[in-house]
Amino acid sequence: MRSFLQSFSFMIILLVLFSGINYSQDIYFCEGVDDDGYPESEASSFTIPDDGGYLYVLVRLDYEVDCKSVYFEVYRNGEYDNTIYLDTERNWVWFWKEVSFYKRGTYKFYVYDCDDELLTSGKVDIDYD
């Protein structure tokens, strides 16, 4: 009986450890992206001129995207704003999109792969200079 309990306990520990495996997908809002796919001047809030401005939305994955395209669903102040599409290569583990902003607000980005699976999400606050 003792051997059974030890084996059972070992299996439970393994199950708990392996069920906790998850991948890290990160989204960054930044003023640039370096050649290695890291954000430059990353922040969670930016100011833009009254006539608009842009910043980069960078997504970094722990695995290859395995899709020919992804899309960003964008909400401003809790309401749908637009959808932005980006062509990708299947082996990419990071990608970015230059996004223009013309209105102030809190923008929430949801990034989906070609199978409509959510890759990551994040928010950025935009205000005028």
**Is the pTM value of this prediction over 0.75?**
yes
Cβ–Cβ < 8 Å for 71, 109? no
pLDDT tens string 72-129: 999 999 999 999 999 999 999 999 999 999 999 999 999 999 999 999 999 999 999 8
> What tens digit of pLDDT does each residue of 21-75 get?
445 689 999 999 999 999 999 999 999 999 999 999 999 999 999 999 999 999 9
State the fold for domain 23-128.
Immunoglobulin-like (2.60.40)
Grade residue 1 by pLDDT with cuts at 50, 70 and 90: low
Residue 111 in contact with residue 83, Cβ under 8 Å? no
In Å, what is the CA distance from 104 to each residue of 53, 55, 126? 11, 13, 5
Give the whole-angstrom CA distance, residue 128 versus residue 110: 24
Only one residue has tokens 């608009």, namely 52
DSSP assignment of 17-69 equals HHHT-----EEEEESEE-TTS-EES--SEEEE-TT-EEEEEEEE-SS---SSE
Q: Is the pLDDT of residue 11 over 80?
A: no
